[in-house]
Amino acid sequence: MAAPMAGEERLDVVKVREALGDALKKVKVDRDDTFLCVERDRIVDAIKALKDDPELDYSYFAECLGVDYSAWPHERDLEERFEVVYNLYSLKHHARIFLKVGVNDGQTVPTLKHVFVGAEFPEREVWDLFGIVFAGNEQTQRFLLPDDWVGFPLRKEFPLGGEDVLFDKGEHGPAVEDISRPHAGESFPGKTGTEEVSGR
Amino acid sequence: MSHSTTFMPSTETIFEKIGENTMVVNMGPQHPSTHGVLRVICELEGETIIQCKCQIGYLHTGMEKEAEYQQYQKCVVMTDRMDYLNANGNNLAHALAVEKLLGCEIPKRAQYLRVILAELSRIASHLVWLGTHALDLGAMTPYFYVWQQREYILDLFEMFSGVRMMPSWIVPGGLRGDMPDGFEEKLRSFLSSFPKELEVVENMLVENPIWKERTYDVGILSGKQALELGASGPIARASGVPWDLRKSAPYSSYEDFTFDIPVGNKGDVYDRFLVRIAEMKESVKIIAQAIDGLPAGDFRTSDRKISPPPREELDNSMESLIHHFKLWTEGYRPPVGEAYAAVEGSKGELGFYIVSDGSNRPYRWHERPSSFMNLKALEILAVGRLIADVVAIIGSIDIVLGEIDR
């Protein structure tokens, strides 16, 4: 089954536009998927409009994920550096819809965990890997990464591997070079990873 | 960064106690009933759980980062290692997402073979679940029976690919190779013997008073709750949501097969057990239809820019040689855009969200992990139950930590 239509446009798109007005910035259709680009502060309203409307019934929250567009060479949907993509599914019409918000460093996205309780885990994951803060779901502890990890690995400037991770001065990667404390697996100080031994 | 360097499990940092005179119990990450490296921390009042938190990440290997540095065809091998019990399902979801980006059509034969592999994977995954779930609750015998059947399925995968658990046989563009000689006979003998063997195990548990005592009315999840949690697959269906992506959004020719969606009515651990047993029987039906109606034709797309030319062509066609060389050195370059494709995995909706910037490597490569979303249910279901029920609930959610942590 496909999404119900209201004239030329999908009914859900029309309803979100009614609820948000100008806060719905752009509607993109790419390979049969519909993406709604929404003002960051209004994302909860948009998703509530989709969820609570009995005609639409977007009651299933599939996931949300982050994308870092800082190295993107093409045209963008939103201006901000990061995008958070929400994936909702309607069991009534068996239709899927994606919502996108843009966010920069220092800005926050309102949390969705009060609307969909399942949003808590993916939001924590997005914070852990991208450093995007969700207001109302702020974290002090790492989620997937080790507690002493420094940096947000899915950002484009974060190196995949090599020296930058293991031998950095504490800007990236596991903080094994922090010689103020012995690191995991080191039984006495000064044996591994220090300048004397590695010659650096 | 300020943090403590102690390696003693600390629970204070994870949550604040909410009750008085309560005890905090740590379970895992090395615990036989957590199905991997899951750490569960429970606050107990007497033996009743009043708060429960999951700690994950012990198996995080950064696959999503790694994929941004790999060509599309090399990403395939990482998908197996996510949900390693349902490797073919992951391969299929990834292949569908990349094919959606590329806009390529897959021959019918390849689609049917994909269905056979994916359904075999589903049975194998459910068998592991059944064995370990029963083992957790003290029933040891089913374990040996299901392991025997799973060995048989892994042998079938080995015939196809030479690999038992991580076949990587479903690739964007079709399959790596056609069905091997002797596979059909072996598959048919499996299809005729498996239902009887499954019945043996089922009969051990279904009316077993101890089993019912441990699972009946434990961990009840309503359908609405399940959907709000993002829980899908057998968990949502056991809670009475008749939703299966194979029916609602058919992919890979699932519309050609007739099968039912087993649905529970209560949403407790026992219902999830019944639903998964019934799903295995439906999978057998699907495989039987697929092998009976297997069309002739190619096992991969004829677009030589996506799938390699046959070996014979390389000897007499320069163009094929060029395609072969370009494909294995450069790969293919999907058009700019983003695509999401989902399949019904053994644990729920399993999707891949891939953003392409027009190069031969994904710009962003993300899996929609079904176990990860389902796990949140544990924190809710455990509250108000006894500590012994946590083991039953974890088992009934059927998690794979490789997929949760990625």
- Rounded Cα–Cα distance for residues B236 and A63 (Å): 15
Burial class (CB in 10 A: 0-12, 13-18, 19+), A168: middle
Closest CA to A141 of B140, B39, B289: B39
Which residue, among A1, A31, A143, would best test binding to B if mutated, counting the most B CBs under 10 Å from its CB? A31
Per the prediction, chain B carries an average pLDDT of: 88
- Rounded Cα–Cα distance for residues A12 and A21 (Å): 14
Please answer yes or no on whether A160 and B364 come within 8 Å at the CB atom: no
Q: A146-182: per-residue pLDDT in tens?
A: 877 778 888 888 777 544 444 445 555 554 444 444 3
Please answer yes or no on whether A121 and B363 come within 8 Å at the CB atom: no
- Rounded Cα–Cα distance for residues B361 and B381 (Å): 41
**From A153, which residue of chain B is nearest by alpha-carbon distance?**
B65
- Rounded Cα–Cα distance for residues B108 and B252 (Å): 8
Q: What is the DSSP letter of A169?
A: S
* B189 pLDDT more than 90: yes
Q: What is the pLDDT of residue B330?
A: 86
For residue A194, tell me if it sits in a domain.
no
Contacts of B189 (CB under 8 A, 6+ apart): none
Q: What is the pLDDT of residue B283?
A: 93
Which two three-digit tokens encode residue B8? 């003693």
Q: Does B335 touch chain A (CB under 8 A)?
A: no
Please answer yes or no on whether A143 and B56 come within 8 Å at the CB atom: yes
If one compares B325 and B6, the residue with the highest pLDDT of the two is B325
Give a three-class secondary structure readout of chain B: CCCCCCCCCCCCCCCCCCCCCCEEEEECCCCHHHCCCCEEEEEEECCEEEEEEEECCCCCCCHHHHHCCCCHHHHHHHHHCCCCCCHHHHHHHHHHHHHHHHCCCCCHHHHHHHHHHHHHHHHHHHHHHHHHHHHHCCCCHHHHHHHHHHHHHHHHHHHHHCCCCCCCCEECCEECCCCCCCHHHHHHHHHHHHHHHHHHHHHHHCCCHHHHHHHCCCCCCCHHHHHHHCCCCHHHHHCCCCCCHHHHCCCCCHHHCCCCCCCCCCCCHHHHHHHHHHHHHHHHHHHHHHHHCCCCCCCECCCCCCCCCCHHHHHHCHHHHHHHHHHHHCCCCCCCEEEEEEEECCCCEEEEEEEECCCCCCCEEEEECHHHHHHHHHHHHCCCCEHHHHHHHHHHHCCCHHHHHC
Contacts of B72 (CB under 8 A, 6+ apart): B98, B172, B331, B332, B334, B360, B361, B362
Please answer yes or no on whether A72 and B357 come within 8 Å at the CB atom: yes
Closest CA to A46 of A102, A122, A100: A100
pTM: 0.87
Q: Is A153 helix (H, G, I), strand (E, B) or coil?
A: coil
Phi (first) and psi of residue A96, to 5 degrees: -120, 145
* B8 pLDDT more than 60: no
Please answer yes or no on whether B376 and A143 come within 8 Å at the CB atom: no
Q: How would DSSP label each residue in A104-138?
A: -TT-EEE--TTT-GGGHHHHHHHHHHH--EEET--
For residue A15, tell me if it sits in a domain.
yes
Residues 51-70 of B with CB under 8 A from A: 56-57, 60, 62, 64-66, 68-69
Q: B263-308: per-residue pLDDT in tens?
A: 998 888 999 999 999 999 999 999 999 999 999 888 888 888 888 8
Q: What is the pLDDT of residue A166?
A: 46
Strand A95-103, strand A82-90: pairing: antiparallel
For residue A159, tell me if it sits in a domain.
no
For residue B399, the tally of other CB atoms under 10 A from its CB is 26
Which two three-digit tokens encode residue B200? 């043996």
Which two three-digit tokens encode residue B223? 């359908």
Please answer yes or no on whether A120 and B376 come within 8 Å at the CB atom: yes
Which residue, among A26, A63, A88, would best test binding to B if mutated, counting the most B CBs under 10 Å from its CB? A63
For residue A192, tell me if it sits in a domain.
no
**From B373, which residue of chain A is nearest by alpha-carbon distance?**
A118
Q: Going from the N-terminus, what domains does chain B have, and what CATH number goes with each?
A: 1-60+374-406 (3.30.390), 63-302+331-368 (1.10.645.10)
Could you tell me if B165 and B154 are in contact, meaning their C-beta atoms sit under 8 angstroms apart? yes
Q: B355-379: per-residue pLDDT in tens?
A: 998 888 899 999 999 999 999 999 8
Residues of B in contact with A60 (CB under 8 A): 227, 230, 232, 243
Please answer yes or no on whether B101 and A142 come within 8 Å at the CB atom: no
Residues of A in contact with B60 (CB under 8 A): 144-145
Burial class (CB in 10 A: 0-12, 13-18, 19+), A64: buried
Q: Does B349 touch chain A (CB under 8 A)?
A: yes
Burial class (CB in 10 A: 0-12, 13-18, 19+), A162: exposed
Cβ contacts from A onto B, under 8 A = 118
Residues of B in contact with A98 (CB under 8 A): 340
**Which residue stretches of chain A have pLDDT < 50?**
162-168, 175-200
Option in A59, A121, A154 nearest B64 (CB): A154
Banded model confidence at residue B13, pLDDT cuts 50, 70, 90: low
Q: B132-179: per-residue pLDDT in tens?
A: 999 888 888 889 999 999 999 999 999 988 888 898 899 998 898 888
Option in B65, B100, B376 nearest A160 (CB): B65
For residue A30, tell me if it sits in a domain.
yes
Which residue, among B373, B375, B404, B406, would best test binding to A if mutated, counting the most A CBs under 10 Å from its CB? B373
Please answer yes or no on whether A91 and B227 come within 8 Å at the CB atom: yes
Banded model confidence at residue B118, pLDDT cuts 50, 70, 90: very high
Cα B332 to its chain centre, rounded Å, is 27
What's the farthest any 2 CA atoms get from each other in chain B?
Answer: 81
Q: What is the pLDDT of residue A18?
A: 83
For residue A155, tell me if it sits in a domain.
no
Which two three-digit tokens encode residue A144? 């997937």
Provide the number of structural domains found in chain A: 1
ipTM score assigned to the predicted complex? 0.86
CATH number reported for the structural domain that contains residue A89 in this entry: 3.30.460.80
Q: What percent of chain B has pLDDT over 70?
A: 96
Which residue, among A1, A26, A28, A30, would best test binding to B if mutated, counting the most B CBs under 10 Å from its CB? A30
Residues 13-32 of B with CB under 8 A from A: 13-14
Q: B172-183: per-residue pLDDT in tens?
A: 988 988 888 989
Residues of B in contact with A116 (CB under 8 A): 228-230
If you search the block for the tokens 């033996």, which residue do you land on? B47
**From A128, which residue of chain B is nearest by alpha-carbon distance?**
B57
For residue A118, tell me if it sits in a domain.
yes
Partners of A35 in the β-ladder:
A28, A98
Give the domain range for residue A71: 5-138
- Rounded Cα–Cα distance for residues B104 and B75 (Å): 18
For residue A89, tell me if it sits in a domain.
yes
